């Protein structure tokens, strides 16, 4: 397998949560693929199902339906969601997740050394103690942690450092794919830039594939090769980054882009306001889920759900009017 080949092919992922007699359709029939060595971004507002989707991919949740076809390092194609426990154990380390919150995702009673070592203990129980510690030290140094402080507890570390601990913990198993869920969202910009640069370097060095989940569109635009936009549990648009940001084809993407604050007073975009609020995912609208807020809505939109289709090469959209609308995106320098 070489860089650029399909490493992950998620098909028709569905995740329903049942609680208090209602069913929340957190993820509804989402399909996308990820190529080896690339960063695929997923954006959308809170509650649209990004975290749930990420957790389904790493099988931290058992999805209600769908397939995650994974091409193993040996080139074998397996359905990550169907494999048995033993095979799972073998491949789980190849797909890791870095969790959202650098404050709550680290066990406060464990030293940082033990936190980073834990996945090794679980996955390589036979590994020698010295080898394990060496591996932890190497990874810690790689992500820019001061290795003399590893015997300390997480509370002694700043937000940026804790995020590095989370990255080290994911990296220690030598994964091929890392799902980053809002991995830099809680950090101040200058620290955010440090961590983004680190993720970049690690990707180059280890040929990592990232699924980068974030509500921050500027960060996603910077880091991703391709980007998917989610709304109310559905993928509404998916395209190479520049295409998506400069020529969006879905009305929701257009509004979302127009709402992004731009750090330049001379380049303020005209906002395309979204009326109202996101509907309840337990009780989604009929037809196109976005029709209640869409400025281009027609009668058909309220009755018939649009199909998610490849309308231009590599550009997937779920909107009845995608081809006739001329939507606004960002101007690019070149």
- Residue 230: CB minimum distance to other proteins, A: 12
- Reported as type and span, the H/E element at residue 236 is strand 234-240
Distance of CA 178 to the CA centre of its chain: 9
Query: Using the rule CB under 6 A, is 297 a contact of ligand SF4?
Result: yes
Q: Which parts of the chain fold into alpha helices (H)?
A: 50-57, 85-92, 112-123, 129-142, 159-171, 189-206, 217-223, 241-246, 251-258, 299-303
Residues in region 227-286 near ligand ADP by CB under 6 A: 281
- Residues 220-239, one symbol each (x = binds other proteins by CB under 8 A, - = not), give -xx-----------------
- With CB under 6 A as the contact rule, the residue among 43, 291, 308, 315 that binds ligand SF4 is 291
Asked if residue 2 lies in contact with residue 207, where contact means CB atoms within 8 angstroms, the answer is no
- Residue 25 CA: distances (Å) to CA of 13, 18, 65: 11, 9, 12
Query: Using the rule CB under 6 A, is 290 a contact of ligand SF4?
Result: yes
Residue 17 contact among Mg ion, ligand ADP, ligand SF4, none, beta carbon within 5 to 8 Å by kind: ligand ADP
Minimum CB distance to ligand ADP smaller for 154 or for 281: 281
- Residue 134: CB minimum distance to other proteins, A: 27
Minimum CB distance to other proteins smaller for 205 or for 333: 333
- Residue 282: CB minimum distance to ligand ADP, A: 8
3-state SS, residue 316: strand
- Residue 72: CB minimum distance to ligand SF4, A: 38
- The CA angle 181-142-222, to the nearest 5 degrees, is 45
Asked if residue 44 lies in contact with residue 229, where contact means CB atoms within 8 angstroms, the answer is yes
Minimum CB distance to Mg ion smaller for 16 or for 101: 101
Query: Using the rule CB under 6 A, is 51 a contact of ligand ADP?
Result: yes
Residue 290 contact among ligand ADP, ligand SF4, other proteins, none, beta carbon within 5 to 8 Å by kind: ligand SF4
Cα–Cα distance measured from residue 274 to residue 258, given in angstroms and rounded to the nearest whole number = 10
Cα–Cα distance measured from residue 56 to residue 312, given in angstroms and rounded to the nearest whole number = 28
- With CB under 6 A as the contact rule, the residue among 2, 46, 266, 268 that binds ligand ADP is 46
- Residue 49: CB minimum distance to ligand ADP, A: 4
Query: Using the rule CB under 8 A, is 197 a contact of other proteins?
Result: yes
3-state SS, residue 187: coil
């Amino acid at each position: 397998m070489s860089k650029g080949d399909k490493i992950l092919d998620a098909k028709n992922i569905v995740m329903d949560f049942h609680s208090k007699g209602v069913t929340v359709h957190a993820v509804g029939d989402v399909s996308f693929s990820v190529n080896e060595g690339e960063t695929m971004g997923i954006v959308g507002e809170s509650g649209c199902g990004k975290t749930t989707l990420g957790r389904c991919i790493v099988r931290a949740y058992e999805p209600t339906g769908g397939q995650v076809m994974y091409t193993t390092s040996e080139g074998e194609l397996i359905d990550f969601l169907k494999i048995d426990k033993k095979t799972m154990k073998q491949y789980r380390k190849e797909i890791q997740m870095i969790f959202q919150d650098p404050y709550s995702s680290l066990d406060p009673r464990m030293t940082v050394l033990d936190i980073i070592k834990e996945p090794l203990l679980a996955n390589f129980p036979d590994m020698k103690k010295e080898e394990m510690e060496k591996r932890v030290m190497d990874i810690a140094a790689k992500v820019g942690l001061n290795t003399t402080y590893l015997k300390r507890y997480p509370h002694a570390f700043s937000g940026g450092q804790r995020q590095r601990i989370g990255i080290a913990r994911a990296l220690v198993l030598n994964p091929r794919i890392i799902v980053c869920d809002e991995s830099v969202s809680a950090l101040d910009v200058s620290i955010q830039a440090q961590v983004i640069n680190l993720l970049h370097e690690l990707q180059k060095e280890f040929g990592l594939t990232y699924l980068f989940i974030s509500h921050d569109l500027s960060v996603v635009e910077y880091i991703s090769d391709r980007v998917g936009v989610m709304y109310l549990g559905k993928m509404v648009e998916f395209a190479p980054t520049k295409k998506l940001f400069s020529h969006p084809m879905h009305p929701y993407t257009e509004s979302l882009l127009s709402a992004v604050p731009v750090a330049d007073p001379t380049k303020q975009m005209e906002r395309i306001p979204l009326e109202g609020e996101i509907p309840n995912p337990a009780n989604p609208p009929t037809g196109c889920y976005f029709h209640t807020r869409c400025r281009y809505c027609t009668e058909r939109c309220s009755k018939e759900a649009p199909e998610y289709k490849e309308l231009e090469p590599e550009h997937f959209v779920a909107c009845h009017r995608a081809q006739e609308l001329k939507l606004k995106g960002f101007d690019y320098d070149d």
